[in-house]
Structures are given as structure tokens and as C-alpha cells.
Chain A
């Protein structure tokens, strides 16, 4: 028991440290958690226990669910071609951009055995049934201090993750689809989203990003700086090759198109999920994982910096995607 609390002190301490740095510097907490994780993993070597891994996995699942639940169906219906097109091109060009990426990653991660077909059947049923059964259940459950609706969401995600892993896929992938089909329900229930988000950001996602960072070997990265630079340029360049023409085809103005392309270069969650999956399944070595995670961090920072500094759209730039959202 003493050991459990000893680990808890270290990991929660790191989570708090990341939170304070993020607050003080005004930077994304996920990014800082990754960086703090890297620093800790190369100095104090926090032990990645089973319970840390469980909280990290649950954090990734709920975070992915929340990402899916951010998509309004009206916007998706109106922009499904752009969303799917950009997502798939983005993936094909490299990897990582939500909707298309989830589908592509789902197929990539899967071994097509009997478990996969069970998982696929369950996912299809869940996507159809959940939007019908969850809203009335939430209306009934939302009055108790034990937070039954939060527990219900976590249970659904746990069942889907179990089936996904059993089917040889990755637990986070159905979470995004479940989030998508429940997005309208959740957008109409802001308080539930707020509580779920608070729980996730406070206690779950720190473990995910800290753990992902702690597995990075800095000596491996320092020994492969050329590879890091090459991968960074390849990933960012591939985004440009794939996304700029696609964005132009969908009517984005030049400035907005470049801005969007640069922002779509980021992808901490799915990028680290892919890399962790590779590491956990022996597809890549720790050295390769280290290089990939550092590239993911760089692609989250550098393109965004360039976008904000040089390509921030003005009021008169043509942005068909912002029209239904009420503009900037």
C-alpha cells in the first residue's frame, strides 16, 4: 500500500507541476504534461504501474470521447464532405486528423479475426442505438449527487474499449464514434460536459500525457536529431501537399487554407496514441517511439506558431467553415 501512495505522490505531483506551468505560461496543459513527462522519465524515472496505465488508458478514451462529442451534427451534416475529405487526405498524407483518422486508424490497428467482427457489429449497434436510449436515461439520472450519468458514459466507453481491444483494435477508437453520435445530447447538456471534462482533465488525462512523455528516451532523441528534423519536415510537408489542394477545392481562401493546414498539423492525442500502440505491441522500439513523440510535440508547436504569427485570418478572408459558426 505504501508503494501505491509513493507512486501516487510522484505522478500527482507531476500532474500538479504541469498544471501550474501551463497556467503560468498560458500553454496547453496536454503539451506541458508531455514535456514534464519527458523530463521526469529521463531524471526521476517514475514507475509506470498498472494503475497508472489504467488511468492513462481511461484518460485517452474519455478525452477521445469528448473530442467526438464536440462535433455538432448540424455542422457535420453541412461539412461532412470537407471533414471526411480533409481527414482522409490528412491521414493519407501522413497521419492524424480526427474523423477520417479515426476510421483509418481503426482499420490499421485491427486484425480481422472473429473478435473484430464482434467489435464492428457492437460499434454499429452502439452508433445506432445510443443516440436513442441515452438522452432519456440522462434526463432521468441527472439529479443525483453520485453522478450516475458520468458513470453511465464511462461504462459505455469501457464496454466499447473492451470489445475493441478484444477485436485486436485500440480502445480509444470507438470512443470517438460514440462521442460523435452523442454530441448533440451532450451539447444540450453543458453541465454534464463540464463535469465530465473537469474530472477528465483533473485526474485522467494527466496520467495519459505524463506516461506518454515518460517513455521517451532523451538520449535516443539527441542521437537522432537528423531523423527528428526529417520526420518533422516530412509530416508537415505531407500535410501541405495533401491538404492545401483539398482545402482550395472546398473553397477556402488562401490565407485561411494555409492557416487551417498549419493548425491541422497538430495531433497530440491521436499521434501519441498511435505511437504508444506501436510501442506496446512491439511494432516500434523505444528509440523510435521517442523520436515520434518528439516529432508530434514539434508539430503541435511549430506550425501553430507560424500560423499565428503569419497567417491568422483577417475579417475579410474567405472562410466558408466559419459562416455557420457565427464567424470569429
Chain B
């Protein structure tokens, strides 16, 4: 049914549920398992940005590789990728890059304050994505 799927995955319980749902809906599709490391805004130095990127790479690489391996074990073509930036922006940009027809992401409940102040990645992706978005609630 879907050709190209982007699974946003950072190893949380929500994203593990999203992975399980992807296993159900992505048969025959290519899946890009994507983790996004945040780069601090208003960073003072290249060092701060580099440090954040290296830490995110170390933190997420094994997780996305593991998720991609689980998909491949189920017979689904899958690759893993770690990218950097604002999660919602990066998810949308890469979904467009790979011409995705579905984005899958997990979510958890945010407090009203957190949602208002920090915003929720899922809200932004749902609002602005060029393709369908499957939100899996934990």
C-alpha cells in the first residue's frame, strides 16, 4: 500500500510502538528509520554544535540500526539514518527528500505548558508534512 515510509525513531516507548505499527503497515515498502539529534539553538561555538552532534550520533546510531534490523528481519527493506536539527523540520525535509508517502511517529502526552512553550514535534509534522502521517500514541 505504501512505497516509501519514514519512521521517526529515538528509542522511546512511543517510538517502539511506532516501530511495531510500521511492521504492520509497511509490507512491501522501503522504510527509512530516522533519528534526529537536536542542535542547540543560539549555539555559542562550533564546539557546542559538534559536541551535540557527536553525542546524538553515539546515542541514536545503535538504536536506529537495531530498529532497521528488526524491520529487515520481517522482510521489509529498511535503512537507518541519524540527522540533525529541529526534529519536526528534519523529519519533514527528509520525508520530502525520499518522496515518502507515509511518516510514522510515536507520541506521548505532553503537559499543556510543555506543549505551549516547547511545542510538540508531532503537531508540527502533522500540520506541515507533505504526506500522510500515522501518529501512534503510547
A binds B: yes
User: Are B42 and A304 in contact, CB atoms less than 8 angstroms apart?
Assistant: yes
From residue 12 to 56 of chain B, which have CB atoms closer than 8 A to chain A?
Answer: 38-48, 50-51, 54
Q: Counting CB contacts under 8 A, is B108 at the interface? A: no
A178–B17 CA distance with the chains assembled, in angstroms? 51
Residues of A close to B38: CB separation below 8 A? 26
Q: A194-B54, A197-B50 are in contact. Are A26 and B41 (CB under 8 A)?
A: yes
CB closest residue in chain A, given B85: A26
Q: Is B124 an interface residue (CB 8 A)?
A: no
Contact flag A31-B44 (CB < 8 Å), given A24-B118, A25-B118, A26-B38: yes
* B45 in contact with A66 (CB, 8 Å): yes
- SS of A interface (majority): helix
Q: In the complex, how many angstroms separate the beta carbon of B59 from the nearest chain A beta carbon?
A: 12
B39 contact set on A, CB distance < 8 A? 26
Report chain B residues within 8 Å CB of A24: 118
A63 CA / B51 CA spacing, docked (Å): 13
A27 and B44 contacting across the interface, CB-CB below 8 Å:
no
- Nearest-neighbour CB distance to chain A for B51, whole angstroms, equals 5
Classify chain B: how many residues form its interface, as a range: 10 to 19
A26 and B86 in contact (CB under 8 A), knowing A194-B54, A197-B51, A198-B51?
Answer: yes
Q: CB distance B51 to A30 under 8 Å?
A: no
Structural contact, A67 and B45, CB atoms closer than 8 A:
yes
Given known pairs A26-B86, A194-B54, the reply for A67 and B47 (CB within 8 Å) is yes
- A63 close to B41 (CB less than 8 A): no
Answer whether residue A22 sits at the interface, using C-beta atoms and an 8 A cutoff: yes
Q: A180: CB under 8 A from chain B?
A: no
Residue A162 CB within 8 A of the other chain: no
| Alpha-carbon distance A90/B43, docked complex (angstroms) | 19
Smallest Cβ distance from A126 to chain B, in angstroms? 21
Chain B residues positioned under 8 Å from A29 (CB to CB): 40, 48
- Asked if B42 and A300 make an inter-chain contact with CB atoms under 8 angstroms apart, the answer reads yes
**A residues within 8 A CB of B44?**
28, 30-31, 266, 268-269, 300
A63 touches B42 (CB 8 A): no
Determine the chain B residues whose CB is within 8 A of the CB of A156 once the complex forms.
none
- A27/B40 in contact, CB under 8 A: yes
Whole-angstrom distance between the Cβ of B72 and the nearest chain A Cβ: 31
* Cβ-based interface call for A109 (8 A): no
Residues of B within 8 A of A287 (CB): none
CB-CB nearest in chain B for A209 = B44
B41→A304 contact, CB < 8 A: yes
Confirm or deny: A250 has a beta carbon within 8 angstroms of a beta carbon on chain B.
no
The answer to whether A22 and B40 touch across the interface, beta carbons within 8 angstroms, is yes
Closest chain B residue to A263, Cβ basis: B42
Give the shortest distance, in Å, between B46 (CB) and chain A (any CB).
Answer: 4
Answer whether residue A301 sits at the interface, using C-beta atoms and an 8 A cutoff: yes
Q: Which residues of B contact A184 (CB under 8 A)?
A: none
A262 smallest CB distance to B (angstroms): 12
| Residues of A close to B51: CB separation below 8 A | 194, 197-198, 201
Can you list 16 A-B contacts with CB-CB less than 8 angstroms, sorted by A residue number?
A: A22-B40, A26-B39, A28-B41, A30-B43, A30-B44, A30-B45, A31-B42, A66-B45, A67-B45, A70-B46, A193-B47, A194-B54, A266-B44, A268-B44, A300-B42, A308-B41
